[in-house]
């Protein structure tokens, strides 16, 4: 009888410490995490395929870039976990801090930056570590704008709308955010937040990062409910600024040559259009199913420049074929869908953060894949989670972590 009475205690004793872990696990979107992880691991294999033969020919370790990519992925995973633990109050602090630190990084680039591939956009440290502040500015701008709109809406409501005689008790609860359209002052303040880093990035000049900043900011404005006249006006203003930048000589000669090769792809195939031409040959070699990992002749021969970063999708097309490329595009669609699902269930600030991150990743993936296929001009943007690069991987890890923090807060 004593044994029979004690037997049920063991399962309960074992289950007790598991329940808190299960509760914490429920707060995460594991499909989002798995999608980002699959893209990153696929990127490790692709970076290895693109660099091993060239490294071996130079007498270096053929796995050097693979190890660095995996190290960057591990650091990004730690940043993701840390960012996912932010609550609503810390998120309001996190936005301004990241924005200001990224802005200081852009200022540091002006005085102590290094030029890589024509863009004066990097800060090199003595240990061989390189950081690109514009990558972190993408996240800082999104969160900064989200906090601005949410805070301004909350202040307006607390000043004029939450009057107990005219409002129900539920409408006057602390923490409830006003979803009314932003005022003119709100939009102008947001434009000031956008204009400063955008101008500094254009001065580097880094056209690709500037385009991503503009796309993410536009997505946040749309999600914030900005009136139609503002969106139309901003689109018209963007077109005017782009024309003036081209006509006024603000773009570098190599950037103008890239646009010229995009409009006339058959010209200068050994110059400005060389990268795109070789990428097209690599993708055409892949056919439907690809040549197999490590068996792409264009990739192994090193014919495609910058294949571990800007043109990594050409490795996908050659070695994994049409179906591999379509599968990768499907993973980006799945990731963006999960981000929008998180936005749908979040409060105002969380919704703006989630929509801005989705616009950032979606636009950058579209631009990178498009320039590999000749659908968009070459702008030097890496493929999110796939291309080699520490700064971009770290910023994207923080972005996934913030999406998880938004989801946890909404639950």
**Tens-digit pLDDT string for the chain (411 aa):** 444 444 444 443 444 444 455 555 667 889 999 999 999 999 999 999 999 988 888 888 889 999 999 999 999 999 999 999 888 777 778 878 888 998 998 998 888 878 777 777 888 876 667 888 999 999 999 999 998 898 887 777 776 655 444 444 444 444 444 456 788 888 889 889 998 998 888 888 788 888 899 999 999 999 988 888 888 888 887 777 777 766 666 666 666 777 767 776 767 677 677 888 899 899 999 999 999 999 989 998 888 888 899 899 999 999 999 999 999 999 999 999 999 999 998 888 899 999 999 999 999 999 999 999 988 888 888 999 999 988 999 999 999 999 999 998 876
372 in helix, strand or coil? Answer: helix
Cα 248 from Cα 265, distance rounded (Å): 24
Is the C-alpha dihedral spanning 362, 368, 369, 370 positive or negative? positive
Helix axis angle for 348-373 and 88-112, nearest 10°, is 40
Nearest CA-CA partner of 312 in 323, 298, 333: 298
Structure tokens at 53: 């033969």
Q: How many CB atoms lie within 10 A of CB 349?
A: 24
| Local structure of residue 175 (DSSP, 8 states) | T
Strand residue runs (E) in 95-212 = 114-116, 119-124, 130-131
Q: What is the pLDDT of residue 348?
A: 87
Q: What is the pLDDT of residue 3?
A: 42
| Local structure of residue 383 (DSSP, 8 states) | P
Q: What is the pLDDT of residue 229?
A: 83
Asked whether 234 and 198 are in contact (CB, 8 A), the reply is no
Q: What is the pLDDT of residue 176?
A: 44
Structure tokens at 174: 């602390």
Q: What is the pLDDT of residue 347?
A: 87
Residue with tokens 């923080």: 398
pTM, entire model? 0.86
Phi/psi at 268 (nearest 5 deg)? 55, 50
Asked whether 254 and 272 are in contact (CB, 8 A), the reply is yes
Cα 79 from Cα 32, distance rounded (Å): 16
Cα 75 from Cα 118, distance rounded (Å): 28
């Amino acid at each position: 009888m004593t044994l029979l009475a004690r037997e049920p205690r063991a399962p309960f004793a074992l289950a007790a410490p598991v329940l808190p872990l299960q509760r914490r696990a429920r707060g995460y979107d594991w499909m989002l995490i798995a999608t980002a992880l699959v893209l990153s691991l696929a990127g490790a294999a692709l970076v290895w395929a693109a660099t091993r033969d060239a490294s071996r020919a130079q007498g270096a370790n053929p796995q050097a870039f693979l190890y660095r990519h995996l190290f960057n992925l591990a650091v990004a995973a730690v940043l993701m976990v840390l960012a996912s633990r932010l609550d609503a109050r810390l998120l309001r602090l996190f936005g301004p801090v990241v924005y200001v630190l990224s802005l200081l990084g852009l200022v540091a680039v002006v005085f102590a930056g290094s030029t890589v591939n024509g863009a004066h956009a990097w800060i090199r440290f003595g240990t061989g570590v390189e950081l690109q502040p514009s990558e972190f500015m993408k996240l800082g701008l999104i969160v900064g704008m989200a906090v601005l709109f949410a805070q301004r809406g909350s202040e307006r409501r607390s000043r004029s709308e939450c009057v107990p005689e005219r409002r129900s008790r539920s409408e006057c609860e602390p923490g409830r955010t006003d979803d009314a359209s932003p005022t003119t002052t709100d939009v102008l303040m947001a434009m000031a937040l956008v204009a400063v880093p955008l101008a500094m990035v254009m001065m580097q000049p880094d056209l690709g990062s500037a385009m991503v900043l503009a796309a993410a900011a536009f997505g946040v404005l749309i999600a914030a409910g900005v009136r139609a006249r503002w969106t139309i006006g901003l689109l018209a203003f963007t077109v005017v600024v782009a024309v003036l930048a081209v006509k006024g000589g603000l773009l570098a000669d190599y950037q103008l040559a890239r646009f010229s090769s995009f409009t006339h792809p058959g010209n200068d195939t050994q110059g400005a259009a060389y990268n795109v031409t070789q990428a097209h040959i690599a993708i055409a070699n892949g056919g439907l199913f690809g040549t197999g990992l490590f068996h792409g002749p264009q990739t192994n021969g090193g014919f495609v420049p910058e294949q571990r970063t800007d043109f990594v999708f050409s490795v996908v097309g050659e070695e994994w074929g049409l179906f591999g490329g379509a599968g990768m595009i499907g993973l980006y669609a799945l990731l963006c869908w999960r981000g929008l699902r998180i936005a749908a269930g979040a409060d105002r600030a969380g919704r703006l953060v989630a929509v801005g991150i989705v616009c950032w990743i979606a636009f950058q993936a579209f631009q990178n894949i498009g320039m590999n296929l000749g659908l968009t001009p070459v702008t030097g943007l890496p493929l999110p989670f796939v291309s080699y690069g520490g700064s971009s991987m770290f910023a994207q890890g923080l972005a996934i972590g913030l999406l998880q923090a938004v989801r946890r807060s909404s639950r």
